[in-house]
Structure 1
Amino acid sequence: MHLTGEDLSHTLLADRLEPGETHVFRECDLTEAGLGGADLGGARFESCVLDGADLREADLDGAVFEGGGGMRIRFDDADLVDATFTGVDLSSARFGGALLTDATFTGCRMIGASLTASRGTGFTVSGCNLTLADLGGCSLRGEVIEGVRFDDADLSGCDFTGATFSGCRLRGAKLIKTVFAGADLRGADLGEPDDATLRAFAGATINPVQAAAILAARGISVL
């Protein structure tokens, strides 16, 4: 199925898709479309409106999302192995229980998105805005994380072991039981971490400027 410019809003589409066929949606309106449980492996979504679209339990293995997007997209329990999201608005999207192994998010707006309880061995995120997002329990071990805003995000229980942060912001992030062992935080804006946050950074590497700022906030001068 190859569709361009179609208004498919509020339409139950899952039963209309032929299994095994590659589906392409280009500049379609999929507002609150019903795609739950659909076979969409390798599908392409190009500049589509996806506000409130239901993709729960869908097979999206290797699917490609480019541009477009919308608020409150539901990916709960979907298979997103090797899926790629480029320049997509995923604000308030829900990925609870989704399989995200080797999924890639690049240049996406993910404000308030929830990835807590997602599954898999890790995913890649770069150039994204994850302000106020919930990544509780996610694994990003060994990942190179570039240009990502985690301001006020909930990173509780996340595993960043060996990860490298470049051009990232962690201001106000919630870091309860977050693991940074072996992580390189020299390229991150840490904000003004309190003592609890500093304990979360145990085992990580920071630069002298960051260390001086942390000490200065506690009334200690570095000469």
Structure 2
Amino acid sequence: MTLDGEDLSHSRPVLQGDEPHVFRGCDLTEADLSGAALAGALFESCVLDGADFRKADLDGAVFKGGGGMRPRFNDADLIDVTFTDVDLSSAQFGGALLTDVSFSGCRMIGAALTASRGTGFKVARCNLTLANLGGCSLRGEFIEGVRFDDADLSGCDFTEATFSDCRLIGTRLLNTTFTKADLRGADLGQPDDAKLRAFAGAVINQAQASAILAARGITVL
């Protein structure tokens, strides 16, 4: 079933056929897709403002472009799903099954991924400013081009993760684990003592160490 440019806003779309559904340029503002069977579906350049995907089966789905404010993916199955260049501002993923999910080039300001389930996700070139990732695991991941400014990373596991061209300015790091993480490619800002304790076991470079010490009145020669 293929839908091109359809206005499906404020409705519950009738989905027909057994083949993966294709949505191109559709307006899904406040659309009710809760509990829908959408495995393998393609969402290309769709408006997702307030779209309701709660408890939907989205395994293998692909989201490309488009997006909107506060789409809801709570308790949905999101195995092998890819989000590419999608606006997921204030998106809700609480309770969702996130296994081998990929977020690339996405705007995820204020997104909430806390309390999600599964083995985790990959994230690259995304803006996660003010996002809540509480308790998520990015253990061993290569994290490139991600802004975590003012994000809540409490309880996250970044063990052996590598950060490249990332920002960790103003982040909340309560009980966050960075054991053997490589932070040499991250902008740490001016971390306070609590954040420095969170970075215990991580690897930083000499310039980062010098900046941290200089902020405390210690000069490294």
Q: TM-score range by the shorter chain?
A: over 0.9
Deviation at 1:190, TM superposition (A): 0.3
Inter-partner Cα distance in structure 1 for 2:180 and 2:139: 10
1:181 maps onto 2:179 in alignment: yes
1:76 aligns with 2:74: yes
Deviations 1:70-126 (A, max 9, x none): 001000000111000000000000000011110000000000000000111121000
Structure 1 counterpart of 2:146, one-letter code: V
Aligned match of 1:8:
8
Give 1:65's aligned residue.
63
CA shift at 1:56, angstroms? 0.3
Question: Does 2:95 align with 1:97?
Answer: yes
CA-to-aligned-CA distance 1:132-174 (integer Å, 9 cap, x gap)? 0000000000000000000000000000001000000000000
User: CA shift at 1:20, angstroms?
Assistant: 3.5
Of residues 48, 51, 58 in structure 1, which corresponds to 2:49? 51
Give the root-mean-square deviation of aligned CA atoms: 0.7
CA distance in 1, matches of 2:17, 2:146: 36
Structure (1/2) with the larger strand percentage: 2
Pick the aligned partner of 1:39 from 37, 40, 43. Answer: 37
Which runs of 5 or more structure 2 residues have no equivalent in the other structure?
A: none
- Distance (whole Å) between structure 1 residues aligned to residue 179 and residue 213 of structure 2: 21
Aligned pair in 2 of structure 1 residues 19, 161: CA closer, same or farther (>3 Å)? farther
1:18 shift after superposition = 3.5
Structure-1 separation of matches of 2:179 and 2:10: 46
Give the Cα separation in 1 of the matches to 2:16 and 2:98. Answer: 24
In the comparison of the two structures, how many residue pairs are matched? 221
Deviation track 1:164-196 (CA, whole Å, cap 9, x = no partner) reads 000000000000000000100000000100000
What amino acid is the match of 2:79? V
Instruction: Output the CA distance in 1 between the equivalents of 2:18 and 2:180.
Output: 43
Contact 1:19-1:39 at 8 Å conserved across structures: no
> Which residues of structure 1 form unaligned runs of 5+?
none
CA distance in 1, matches of 2:17, 2:73: 19
- How does the TM-score come out when normalised to structure 1? 0.98
Give the drift of 1:19: 6.5
Which residue identity does 1:26 align to in structure 2? Answer: R
How is 1:1-223 mapped onto 2 (pairs within 5 angstroms)? 1-13=1-13, 16-18=14-16, 20-223=18-221
Question: Given residue 80 of structure 1, which amino acid in structure 2 is its aligned partner?
Answer: L
